[in-house]
Amino acid sequence: MSHTDLHDLGVAQLTALLRGKQLSAVEAAQHFLARARAHQHLGIFLAIDEDVTLAQARAQDEALAAGQAAPLAGLPLAHKDVFVTRDFPTTAASKMLAGYRSPFDATVVARLAQAGCVTLGKLSCDEFAMGASNENAAVAPIGFDSPQPARNPWNPAHVPGGSSGGSAAAVAARLAPAATGTDTGGSIRQPASFCGITGIKPTYGRASRYGMIAFASSLDQAGPMARSAEDCALLLSQLCGPDLERDSTSLDKPAEDFSAQLNDRLEGLRIGVPKEFFSAGLASDVQAAVEAALKEYEKLGARLVPISLPRTELSVPVYYILAPAEASSNLSRFDGVRYGHRAKDYADLLDMYKKTRAEGFGDEVKRRIMIGAYVLSEGYYDAYYLQAQKLRRMIADDFQAAFQDCDLIAGPVAPTVAPLLGAQTDPVTSYLADIYTLPASLAGLPGMSVPVGFGNGNLPVGLQLIGNYFQEGRLLNAAHRLQQATDYHLHQPAGLSQQPGEGI
């Protein structure tokens, strides 16, 4: 059998070939490693270790041969560089952690390894997951001598989104069939939309945060990114589940088979369409693609229901008070004393702290630390932080009121298609672009992005689906049924058909 087109296959297809012994885990790993080398110009991988990857693959081949295969035995994937890994360096794309190696694996990494997955490497992201474009990465990707943002495979002049930009770009460029991502305010959904892939953020607490470098602890959540809803369901089934001894925010809710609902019919499904998601700030090309997808749902038997999420606009200031506040606390551990970067020249301990953080953190990280410290300071805590927490509760209540009239909510992921690299020079403009993803994050609800078309410049557009708590199965079913009726998830960027072995 010829394996030159393995990168065109998704998780379900590759797993079937591996279990049927039509493909070895070593062959699959070698194929995708060669793809990664052939397309280094995209700046996607921060770390690769072929010896480690092939050793993992050989172990999975032995398990397959012995009839002891795990559910995803031999499947290659890559991890966002905020998940600590024992066998690969973990930097969170920051100078502060350059060269750091963890003595243990994050729970998400460990669970996917137990499911049989083979790690291809670590992927670029915004520094400490702070950003919406992947332009805040402060570590040089493989093939570069200096820090570079990952490029959008559909057009390398555009951003892939963030903070999980490397993860989305890796899947879109067919350098990996799947990747892990994290979503604090939309960092799985937005890059998935910009890169034309599928990504899902589960209910807060569904996936363990142990070993995931913290940005904002009450918001951070891990999730899978892949080509299709079917692929995401297979991955999510393995990475979710309670981790009560190691993660105090983990929910005591057993893992589920999220593939079980994939083929449920959509007749009678009520899809809420928030009027606030179709405001003047939404670009016409994005709106056209989203509305076409909603019409497709009507053809499949679903019913569109007008709803309101009246505090949508307030989600931006609420998020950018709460998230920086938590970040200022979480990042205080990076002080140069125990691990990570330490300034070379300093007069005393306080001077060492100051110089270490000034050298180790990038501008966006410093900006959020300062905002967070300010809103938590005496005299401002009640005026900013406490009020933001009250509004967060109200935003969550808006969703519960909406779910009285609908089963899930649909709308755009982002107001525009992926912007050009360097176009977002004003941080506030970048923050405002999160307006459609932030509400679900603040409420802790599951949400996902599904590719539904193309906008200006032939750049992908994603449809956001939001469910009530623990309704991941319903979301994945709705996405899967749409993908059975359309083929946008099968489209791939031009100019990336180079096969391994050519021009490497």
> Could you tell me the pLDDT band of residue 170, with boundaries at 50, 70 and 90?
very high
* pLDDT, tens only, 14-46: 999 999 999 999 999 999 999 999 999 999 999
- Which residues, at least 6 apart from 300, have a Cβ–Cβ distance to it below 8 Å? 266, 267, 481, 482, 485
* pLDDT, tens only, 256-292: 999 999 999 999 999 999 999 998 899 999 999 999 9
Percent with pLDDT over 70 in the chain:
98
Contact 199, 234 (CB under 8 A): no
Q: What is the pLDDT of residue 2?
A: 54
Q: What domains lie within the chain, and their CATH numbers?
A: 6-264+475-490 (3.90.1300.10)
Catalytic residue numbers read: 80, 163, 187
* pLDDT, tens only, 443-460: 999 999 999 999 999 999
In the block, which residue shows the tokens 């899978």? Answer: 224
Q: Does position 295 have pLDDT exceeding 50, yes or no?
A: yes
**CA 191 to CA 443: how far, in whole Å?**
20
> Could you tell me the pLDDT band of residue 497, with boundaries at 50, 70 and 90?
low
> Could you tell me the pLDDT band of residue 425, with boundaries at 50, 70 and 90?
confident
Q: What is the pLDDT of residue 3?
A: 66
- Burial of residue 182 (CB within 10 Å: 0-12, 13-18, 19+) is buried
**CA 185 to CA 392: how far, in whole Å?**
13
Q: What is the mean pLDDT of residues 198-208?
A: 98
Q: Does position 502 have pLDDT exceeding 60, yes or no?
A: no
Q: What is the pLDDT of residue 429?
A: 83
Q: What is the pLDDT of residue 501?
A: 43
In the block, which residue shows the tokens 């009250």? Answer: 390
Among 177-181, 431-435, 473-477, which is the least confidently predicted range?
Answer: 431-435
Q: What is the pLDDT of residue 500?
A: 44
Q: What is the pLDDT of residue 104?
A: 98
**Cis before residue 163, ω within 30 degrees of 0?**
yes
**CA 452 to CA 461: how far, in whole Å?**
6
Q: What is the pLDDT of residue 1?
A: 41
* pLDDT, tens only, 334-352: 999 988 999 999 999 999 9
Percent with pLDDT over 90 in the chain:
93
**CA 241 to CA 206: how far, in whole Å?**
6
- With CA atoms as reference, report the closest residue to 271 among 408, 469, 474, 400: 408
- More confident: 155 or 502: 155
Average pLDDT across the chain, whole number: 95
Q: What is the mean pLDDT of residues 205-219?
A: 98
Q: What is the pLDDT of residue 485?
A: 97
Q: Does position 252 have pLDDT exceeding 60, yes or no?
A: yes
What's 85-114 look like in SS3?
A: CCCCCCCCCCHHHCCCCCCCCCHHHHHHHH
Q: Does position 321 have pLDDT exceeding 80, yes or no?
A: yes
